[in-house]
Amino acid sequence: MLFLEQSSLREDEKFIGVACFGIAGPIKTDNNEKRYCEMTNIPQWPVITEDGFSQLINGEKVILLNDLEAIGHGISTLSETMGNGISPLSEADLVELNAGTPQKGNRAVIAAGTGLGELMLYWDGHEHVPSASEGGHTDFAARDQFEYALQNYLREKCYPKLVNYEQVLSGRGLVNIYEFIRDRGEYGKESADLRERLDKQDKAQVISEAALAKENRLCIKALDVFVSIYGAQARNLALQCLPFNGLYIGGGIAPKILAKLRDTTFMHAFANKNGDFPDLLASIPVKVIMNPQVGLLGAAWRGAKT
């Protein structure tokens, strides 16, 4: 409503015909075919319903989407103007990590930010249809002794909850990795200056910025581990849904650590030559979504399509 009040539209144009919202949680349907959502990481919030939102806009239609579904729809708006051979990719919207060999087929999105979201976009022969998941909450699978130690560290920290990927691949996940490395003591001690910055600022941002500036060994190692696990979990997602038309890295973290994603760490873990199907994985295009409004664009596209 505030948007309408501040817009330049004429008074007779200030109305909402349909509203679409991307929400961080699974969208469910009750026995009366009514859709609702319980926020994944904010359980104290009331249940969000399409009917409840509709009452706020004079009974007009409301559509609830999982936040990754909104991003999935938004990718289509980006690729229609910048992909498919129409014009080169714009670095303002998409940055390519792996050209691969794109072909018609599924897409996938993995997005680390406040949490970890995962999505498959099924190709039905005409368009990409988003299929939301809670894949970020699957059990974390250690790949070597170092990660087994990380897993055990987090198990003690998170007990009695299982250790899942979101506890590693998110803003707080980067902090978890950093604290594990710090407590092991193999990469030096935490400096007083770094401690002060961590106490006063966003911890994940401090760690990533210090790592990218190569200011601190602890932070460099933490970001290296984070990006390697990110690539490994992207690999898991790719093997599950075979996104031959592209795997997209979304979320708020990727654009901030683009320089690190562009080195070999992510793609080495993604197309692991010691695992199964390395050639298949190497053929999948991998792109970083740089446009922070992709979810908003996707929600608008879905609403306009109604």
Decide: 74 and 30 in contact? Cβ < 8 Å: no
Instruction: Note whether residue 114 is domain-resident.
Output: yes
If asked whether residues 99 and 63 sit together in one domain, one would say no
In-domain check, residue 78: no
On whether both 123 and 53 belong to a single domain, the answer is no
Q: How large a percentage of the chain has pLDDT more than 90?
A: 75
Those residues whose C-beta lies under 8 Å from the C-beta of residue 301, and which sit 6 or more positions away, are: 73, 74, 76, 77
Residues 51 and 155 reside in one and the same domain: no
pLDDT per position as a tens digit, 165-204: 999 999 999 999 999 999 999 999 999 999 999 999 999 9
Residues 117-159 have pLDDT tens digits of 999 999 999 999 999 999 999 999 999 999 999 999 999 988 7
Q: Domain for residue 82, yes or no?
A: no
Q: Give CA–CA dist 19/82, Å, rounded.
A: 27
The domain in which residue 34 lies consists of 2-68+298-305
Q: With pLDDT > 70 as the criterion, what percentage of the chain qualifies?
A: 93
Confidence of residue 39 (pLDDT cuts 50, 70, 90): confident
Residue 228 DSSP symbol: H
Say if residue 220's pLDDT is above 60.
Answer: yes
**CATH number for 98:** 3.40.367.20
Name 107's bridge partners.
121
Higher-pLDDT residue of 286 and 57 is 286
Q: Is residue 81 very low, low, confident or very high in pLDDT (cuts 50, 70, 90)?
A: very low
- Give pTM, 2 decimals: 0.90
- Predicted pLDDT at 2: 60
Same structural domain, 29 and 165: no
Rounded distance between C-alpha atoms, residue 24 and residue 286, angstroms? 24
Say yes or no: 180 and 38 in one domain.
Answer: no
67 has pLDDT over 70: yes
262 and 162 within one domain: yes
150 and 206 in a common domain: yes
> Does 265 map to a domain?
yes
Q: Where are the beta strands (DSSP E) in the chain?
A: 18-23, 27-29, 35-37, 48-49, 61-66, 94-98, 107-112, 116-123, 128-132, 247-250, 286-289
Give residue 88's pLDDT: 47
What's the pLDDT at 4? 66
266 domain residue, yes or no: yes
**Torsional sign, CA 16, 39, 233, 258:** positive
Count the domains in the chain: 2
pLDDT at 163 over 70: yes
How would residue 91 be classed by pLDDT, with cut points 50, 70 and 90?
Answer: low
